[in-house]
Amino acid sequence: MALPTILLVDNGSRRAGSVLSLRGIAAELSSLTRLGIHPVSLQHADKIPSDALGGTPAETFTPYLQQRLEQGDREFLVLPLFFGPSRTLTSFITEQTTVLQSDFGHFNLSLASVLCPLPEGEPRLADILIDQIIAASPGHPPSRVVLVDHGSPIPEVTAVRSYLATQLRNQLEPDAELFEAVMERRNDPSYDFNGELLETVLNSAATEDANSPITLSLLFMSPGRHAGQDGDIETICEKVRQQHPGLQISISPLVGAHPTLIKILNDRLQASLVQHELS
């Protein structure tokens, strides 16, 4: 059976660093597997000027699939660069596939597992986070850690952060404090499962103790509006520092920069390829 066209997909960003990160991860995975891995964003990335991307425009999901369908491809495998089952990942792909099938006829598109499928989880993601926390806290074990993610309107995505927080608690020093925070959430009590906003958590921790350093553990894959250089996270940290002079806040490297990520992606890919052969 012929191999499907393999798409490594992220949500997409209007920042060039996010696309360059996606391309780098796809290239590493392609080198490991000796398969063609195509970096494709679901949305947004096509707004980035191509000169910010080395002259090569970003690929986005629907136009990319349309192009491949016009070339005769009929088998596709989507490998998600997502921690959990984001609604953008699930609903958007289904909707766009339906639209394209109305124009091009039936084709097969399968979706590999996310990076941290629950309930089994993925302990290696916690190992990555610990490594990145240590990298951000040289010379001393972290005493206060804030695990922060983007935020989601669906509980299944927040559950991934909660799972990883439990894993981190088992690996941090026994007396270390671990908090959870979110960058975005809807302002309604029905979304309280998201937890508190990052700025609120940092200000609360600083008010309680402005002398003990804080390490931010970023549950983010690539640099973008929140986690990139001069992004929202850096802006929030600087604002809190101004309100609490002397407070030390360090920010961990991103998950996408860690070599273990490629091993996790390869496992998801190989499992899906086996399923493809059996179907």
* pLDDT tens by residue, 120-142: 999 999 999 999 999 998 888 89
Q: What is the DSSP secondary structure assignment for residue 104, as one 8-state letter?
A: H
| pLDDT at 202 exceeding the cut of 90 | yes
More confident residue, 97 or 191: 97
Average pLDDT, the chain: 95
Closest of 67, 69, 154 to residue 118, by C-alpha: 154
What are the tens digits of pLDDT across the range 238-252?
999 999 998 999 999
pLDDT of 175 above 70: yes
When pLDDT is averaged across residues 153-177 and rounded to a whole number, the result is 95
pLDDT at residue 9, rounded to an integer: 98
3-state helix, strand, coil in the chain (%, to 5): 50, 15, 35
Q: What pLDDT score was predicted for residue 1?
A: 61
Q: Which fold has domain 5-115+259-278?
A: Rossmann fold (3.40.50)
The reply to whether 5-115+259-278 and 123-257 are identical in fold is yes
- 34 token code pair: 């000796």
| Res. 108: pLDDT tops 90 | yes
**Domain range summary for the chain, segments of one domain joined by +:** 5-115+259-278, 123-257
Which top CATH class is 123-257?
alpha beta
Average pLDDT over residues 176-197: 91
Query: String of b and e for 171-184 (b: at least 16 CB within 10 Å)?
Result: ebeeebbbbbbbbe
Taking the model in full, what pTM does it have? 0.95
Residue 2's pLDDT is 79
